[in-house]
Amino acid sequence: MAVVAQLSPSSYTETTRLSSSQLSLSSTHLSSLRRRAFRPIIGPRNPTISCSVNQVQAPVAVERDDPKSKTNDCYGVFCLTYDLKAEEETKSWKKMVNIAVSGAAGMIANHLLFKLAAGEVLGPDQPIALKLLGSERSLQALEGVAMELEDSLFPLLREVKIGINPYELFEDAEWALLIGAKPRGPGMERAGLLDINGQIFAEQGKALNAVASRNVKVIVVGNPCNTNIPAKNFHALTRLDENRAKCQLALKAGVFYDKVSNMTIWGNHSTTQVPDFLNARINGLPVKEVIKDHKWLEEGFTETIQKRGGLLIKKWGRSSAASTSVSIVDAMKSLVTPTPEGDWFSSGVYTNGNPYGIAEDIVFSMPCRSKGDGDYELVKDVIFDDYLRKRIAKTEQELLAEKKCVAHLTGEGIAFCDLPEDTMLPGEM
C-alpha cells in the first residue's frame, strides 16, 4: 500500500495558484498568459516572482546555501490572482483548506488528488489548496500532475504547490495525507523496512510539528510517528481492509455491501490484522446469525482479508492504488461526516485510554465514531469472545515489537527488533 518517496534536504519548490475568477475569463485573456516550464531555482536568496494574467516574470538563477529557504514559482492558470474574500460575498464558498499530500507523484495519489479537487471529500462548496510533496526523482512527474490538475478546470482547486521540502509544503496544512513510503525490496528484512520508513515519517512528523496547523488531521499509509501535535490527530489507514471485509461478507450473504455495518479491523495492517465478524452486522443482524458457516468466518473469511492485497498484486501486476485512494477518501469522510447512529468505522489510532485492555501508546486499528467535526471517539459497546481476544492479542504483540524496532526514531531509547514472525502482507516483497 506504500509508494516510493525519499526525502531530500533540497529546497526545490514550485507554487501554482488557480483563481476562482478564471472561470469567467475570456479565451483572449487566457491566451495572453505566457506559459513556461517548471524549473529549479538555486541560490542563497529568494527572487520575487510576480504572477498575473498579463505578466509572468522569468526566474532568476542564483545560488542557495540554506536548504529551507523558499523559492516560489507558478504555472499557467494557477498564476492568476484573486480575492477569495470578495468572492465569498457573492458565492457560498467556505474558507480555503490546505491539504498536504506526500508521495504525490505515485499511483495512489494519482487517483486521490482528483477526488479531492472535485469536492468528493470536503464538499462542493469547499475550496482547497493542494501541497504536493515528492522527491528529486519525481519532480518531473509532479509537474505533470500539476498540468493535469490545471487542465481539469476544478473550480474548487485554488492553489497547487509542488516540491520536496516538507517544511515548505506542510505550512499551515489542515490535512496531511502521508502516502509516500518505501516498499519492501528483494532480500530486505522487515526490520530494515521499518527503520527506513520510520526515518521518512519522523522527518515528515518534525515538519508537521514545526509548520502545520495545530489542528492538522494526519492519515498515514505506513508507520506514523510521534510529534507534539496531539496524538489523537494521527490515523493509520486500515479503511481499505474494512472495505474489503464488507465486500466479502456481502458476497457470502448474497446482499449488496451497503447492508453490512459495524465492521471493525483490529490491530496492525499485516497478516495479523483481525477482521471482526463477531460485532459486524448484515441488515442489522449479527453476522453469525446470517452466515451460518462459522468455520468459513474463522478461516476462509479472515485469511481472505489478510491476504487480499497480495492476491490483487498477483492478478493485476500492481498494488491496489485505486481502491486505496477510495479508502483514504472514505477515511476522511468518516471524520467530517457524523457517523450514522449505531454504526462505526475502523481507523488506526493511538490506544491511550482505550476501553479494551489493549496496551497503551501504540497505534492500533479500533472501532471509532465521529460527530463530523474531525475528531472521533472509541466505541465502547462492542463484545468479545475467546477467539477475538486471542487474535487481538497476537496483533498487539506484533505492534509492540514493531515499536521497539523504531525506538531510536521516537526518542524511546535504543532500537531492539525482535519481531515474532514475518507478517508482511503478501505482495509487499
- pLDDT tens-digit map of 143-189: 999 999 999 999 899 889 999 999 999 999 999 999 865 554 444 44
Give the C-alpha separation, 155 to 22, whole Å. Answer: 9
Closest CA to 77 of 130, 156, 147: 147
Catalytic positions, written as ranges: 269
Give the tens place of pLDDT for each residue, 376-393: 999 999 999 999 999 999
Give the C-alpha separation, 352 to 355, whole Å. Answer: 9
Helices (H), 18-105: 27-31, 84-88
Give the tens place of pLDDT for each residue, 30-88: 222 222 333 332 333 333 222 222 222 333 333 434 434 444 455 556 656 555 555 55
Please, what is the angle between helix 139-151 and helix 107-117, to 10°? 30
Helices (H), 44-103: 84-88
Spans of the chain below 50 pLDDT: 1-72, 90, 184-193, 197, 223-227, 425-429
* CATH 2.130.10.10 assigned to 238-406: no
260-261 vs 264-266, strand pairing mode: unpaired
Closest CA to 123 of 343, 322, 337: 337
What's the CATH number of domain 96-223, 3.40.1000.10, 3.40.250.10, 3.40.50.720, 3.40.630.10?
3.40.50.720
Residue 69's pLDDT is 41
Residue 317's pLDDT is 80
Joined together, the cell numbers standing for residue 352 give: 491511550
Query: Is the dihedral angle over the CA atoms 352, 358, 361, 362 positive or is it negative?
Result: negative
User: Residue ranges of the domains in the chain?
Assistant: 96-223, 238-406
Closest CA to 358 of 331, 398, 303: 398
Residue 36's pLDDT is 30
Say if CB 105 and CB 145 are below 8 A apart. Answer: yes
